[in-house]
Amino acid sequence: MQSVLSRDLKESLDTRKQVEIFSDFLRTTRKPTLQFSQKQSSNYKDSLIRITSTPVKEESRKPRISCRQAFDALSRQWHEETFMLSSTTEICSHNAYLEIINMDKKVLPFILEDLQKSPDHWFSALRSITGSDPVLPEQRGRMKQMAKAWIDWGFENGYLNH
């Protein structure tokens, strides 16, 4: 896409400042190529600034972080903001927890590794992501037994390695 920006130029410095501001704006959404041209005249009205731009891909605008880094950051946020809560409903409806669930099956190994280190309230997320529930009725409410059931499930389904 091309756009042409033509302005009355009062002073060269003002114009360059405007171009810098405009190009900074474009840089976040488009990749600009600026071309300055001025006719053989002392009249600034004859100046033309041509800006040719192409869209910047969405991926290149965001800093790239790995799935593991995103999971670790969200998990840390979730733990920090819910460690004082006693309500499982509130713990499992925290925004960071829900974002982890939205990351889908690629976070299963990370959740299961976390469960291996120490039992935590990952069970709702695991059920939501997998559609499974390996926890037996007699294990409900017993965090260590529930964690073991999910860890065993992780090994059986290839999300954890021995």
**If 0-12 CB within 10 Å is exposed, 13-18 middle and 19+ buried, where does residue 61 land?**
exposed
* The pTM of the whole model exceeds 0.85: no
Q: In DSSP terms, which residues pair with 5 in a beta bridge? A: 49
CA distance 116 to 104: 19
* In the chain, where the domains are located: 2-61, 67-156
Per-residue pLDDT of the chain (162 residues; tens, 9 = 90+): 333 343 343 444 455 555 565 555 555 555 545 455 555 555 555 555 555 556 656 555 556 789 999 999 999 999 999 999 999 999 999 999 999 999 999 999 999 999 999 999 999 999 999 999 999 999 999 999 999 999 999 999 999 987
